[in-house]
Structures are given as structure tokens and as C-alpha cells.
Amino acid sequence: MPAVASPSLPRAALRSWSLAGAAVLGASLLLAGCGGGPPKARVEEQQQQHAFESRGYAPSGEAVTVQALSWRLRGEDVRLSLATPTSAAAAPRPVVLYLPGLGESETAGIRWRRAWAAAGYAVLSLQPLDDDATAWSSELARSAEFTELGRRHYAEAQMRRRLARLDELLAEAQRLGRQGEMPWRSLDWSRTVVAGYELGAQLALALAGERQPDGTTLALPTLRPVAAIVISPQVFATPDPARYRDIAIPVLGLTGPDDGDVLGLVRELRWREAPFAAMPAGRGWLLSAAEVRHAAFGGNEPRPEDVERELKRVRAAEDQAQSQPQGRRGGGMRGGRGEMPTRMAPVPALPDYRQLHEQQLGLIAAQQVSVAFLDRQLKQAEPARAWLAGPARDWLGRVATLTGAR
């Protein structure tokens, strides 16, 4: 989807929002039933997506409740989001700790969080550092210094700050749980998976046992995760296999051949996949989803007003494309030889529906594989182990490839 340039809008943000437009368009297809409905081809694609999902590991789940939570801790405001199954549980639920990407808040990754909560997990989302959440409004972003912006936020010193703050927040959540406060008393921290997208993936991979450049490994005093999910891991150079040979827990990576980097720091997309091949046997799992772009891996949903605006734009583009005479769209000759050309109004760009359809299939694949991974690691579920070991590959087909799952 083309983005309209604005003098005050950073180019990297434009590209990121342009990619995010795929999510807007995907949602608009679902809402297009009003006012005439989507074209027949779009309806058929939606039916294909539903059929693909119904044959997977977790085609349905529980209803989900998402709670916005806030604290005042050490003089600072803290915002958290907790997604849980709506139904009551007889025992505390296993926890998925979700860490958002650069410039994202605790509300990010809602598609991942809903899928995992619907499978029976308590999904806690938080952005440990405020300056990570506000990165796109920083002075570096306003100055279009995006490479330096990325280097600063992905620096080891910043990650250690992030780790220390995360430890403080988890300690507080566990303290409230021991005091019997809801919803914290309903969380089983002994069964926790840490998950993250790009910036969050960096910390999740570190907590799984990745060695840092100085040879050390990082850990949380308050929490020992049993597994990790890293989504679009930001790997900025050819990975050193030695950094991943001591990975201590199973790690599922989610990426793909279209998982480009808006900051331009991941120059080779294969770098994202390399760590998993270097992990010990049985520890590294990798799902490579075709046609899923970087912004879509963030798991965000567009705001209703964005959906409505994009829906109107798409309808206008389709109407104008249909109204232009064949052979005369964008300009042509009027009448016979020698007459002046007729200047036709430009036809707005239509969405790449095929790519959006394939992307949606890839996201369905990633969600269901991640749910099966959680069930295997947190519930020791035999159906999840058996599905990942064989049927998952047949189900994925050309949509995605899954390696390391045995």
C-alpha cells in the first residue's frame, strides 16, 4: 500500500505504517459485508482461510477477557495488559510473558495474546522501559536518524536496563499474588514462557541462554522461563554459532522470507533464522511463514477508524478502476490521429489481495504452531507433541515450513 509522504513523518515510520496497512486491509475485507460486500474472490479467500484454520491444531478456543492494569512503582506509572480466558479456572494458569517491539506499548501483539489466552493461558504484556515505548517520538526519530535509533535501543546496556526493570515489575506482580490480590493470585509463575517481538525477542532470546558479546548470560532472579517464543528476532550480523550452543530451554522462532527490517539493521534476512540451527538438538524450533511481512508479525490490529478509512479508499479505487474504459486508464488519445491526448484521472492503487490472503494464512499457521508449542512445553500435552512431530508439516503445506520439531 503506498504511503503519502509528510514532512513531519519519519521515513522509517512511513515504511512501517505502510507495512501495517496490510493489517488494515485484511480487517477491511472482514468488514466489507456492509455496503455491498467484498468481491466473490475475496469471499472465497476468507472461506479458504477458515477451512485452513479448521484443519489445524487449535481451530477454536475459549472466550478471552483483556484487562488494562496500572501501578505506581518507585514513583513511576506502570501500565500492563493481561489477557485471560473468560471462564474461571480451578487452579492458577500458566503464564505467557509478552514483550512488545520497539515503539510499542503494552497493548501491542493483541492477535498473539488473544490466541494464547484462548488456549488457556494468562498472557501478561508490558513494555519495561518508557523510552522504548516512545522511541518513534524521540529526537532521533524526528531527525530521521533511524539507524542510530535502532543501535541505541538494541545496545547491550539498554537491554540490561530493560532486564533490571522487568525484574522489578515481575517481583511486584508476584508479591501481589502472594498477598492474594486478583488477578495476580491466579497466575502460576513456575510455568512461564517468555515471548517477544523484535525488541522483545532480543530479551526473550537472551533469557533463553544466548551468550552476550562479553561471554556472559543473562537471567531474571524472579523468574526462570521454561521456554521462549521469539518473533522477528533482530540479528544484526552473521550469527556466531557459539552464542547459541548453551541455549537452556526450547525456543520457537517465528519469521519468514518477507520479514524485512524497517530500521535497515538486519541486512540479511537469513540472519534471523541462523540462531535456531546453532541451538542444541531439540531446543531450536523455527517456523518460516511465507508472505508474512515484518509489521504483520507484530500481531497488531488496526483501529476501527483506520479500517473504515481504508475501506472507503479501497472501494473508491475499485469503483474508479471499473469506471475507466478499457485501454484508456491513465490517459490515451481522443478520436483520430493528431488529436490531443485525454488526461485521465489516476487510478488509486488497489491492495495486493493475493499477498494479503497468503499473509493471513501464514499468520494462522504461526498462531496455531505457537499454541501447540505452548501446550507441549507448559502442559506436556501429548496431542501437541504428536501434532508438531508430523501432521503439522502436512497441514502447513506451502504456507510455511517448520523445522526442529521432534
Does position 64 have pLDDT exceeding 70, yes or no? Answer: yes
Task: State percent of the chain over pLDDT 90.
Answer: 57
183-230: pLDDT as tens digits: 999 999 999 999 999 999 999 999 999 999 888 999 999 999 999 999
282-293: pLDDT as tens digits: 899 999 999 999
C-alpha distances out from residue 80 to 165, 170, 173, Å: 13, 11, 10
93-132: pLDDT as tens digits: 999 999 999 999 999 999 999 999 999 999 999 999 998 8
Which of 37-46, 55-64, 151-160, 385-394 shows the lowest per-residue confidence on average (mean pLDDT)? 37-46
Average pLDDT over residues 235-258: 92
Between helix 146-154 and helix 199-207 the angle, nearest 10°, is 20
Highest mean pLDDT among 23-37, 142-156, 324-338: 142-156
Amino acid at position 318, single letter: E
Give the pLDDT confidence score for residue 164 in this predicted structure: 95
Task: State percent of the chain over pLDDT 70.
Answer: 77
Q: Give dist(CA 131, CA 318) in Å, integer.
A: 42
404: phi > 0 → left, psi -120 to 50 → alpha, else beta; which? left
Give the pLDDT confidence score for residue 177 in this predicted structure: 96
Does position 37 have pLDDT exceeding 90, yes or no? Answer: no
The secondary structure of 15-48 as a DSSP string is HHHHHHHHHHHHHHHHTTTGGG---HHHHHHHHH
Q: Give dist(CA 228, CA 378) in Å, integer.
A: 11
Which is more confident, 307 or 367? Answer: 367
Predicted confidence band of residue 310 (pLDDT cuts 50, 70, 90): low
Predicted confidence band of residue 349 (pLDDT cuts 50, 70, 90): low
Does position 3 have pLDDT exceeding 50, yes or no? Answer: no
Predicted confidence band of residue 15 (pLDDT cuts 50, 70, 90): very low
- The CB density around residue 244, as the number of other CB atoms within 10 Å, is 23
Q: Give dist(CA 218, CA 314) in Å, integer.
A: 48
Single out the residue of 402, 123, 394, 396 nearest to residue 254, CA to CA: 402
